[in-house]
Amino acid sequence: MSKRILVKEAGLMDFFKSFFQAKADGNESEWLQRLRKADPDLADVWKDYDDKLSANMRLQQQTLKKYGLDTSKVDSMIKKYGLKNV
């Protein structure tokens, strides 16, 4: 793997970290606004990712509850990252 690819992957990890940190801090909208100014298409992709992530976590939570399984880890992630109720 070339250094160029490794640098891109490292940058992507930082991007994910900054996104989830902004969500945890409650600054997600400001983060998306800054991103939208820099690249509107990329901001749309991250908004879609956020919506799908929230929907997936809620679905996992519902499925675990349906089968009477422990939802505490999913509940803590939903609370920590302020995932939407979609």
Over residues 37-86, the pLDDT tens digits come to 988 888 898 889 888 988 999 999 999 999 999 999 999 988 888 777 65
Residue 19 identity (one-letter amino acid): F
Question: Which pTM was predicted?
Answer: 0.73
For residues 12 and 14, give the distance between their C-alpha atoms in angstroms, rounded to a whole number.
5
Domain regions of the chain by residue span: 3-80
Quickly count helices (H) and strands (E) in the chain. Answer: 4, 0
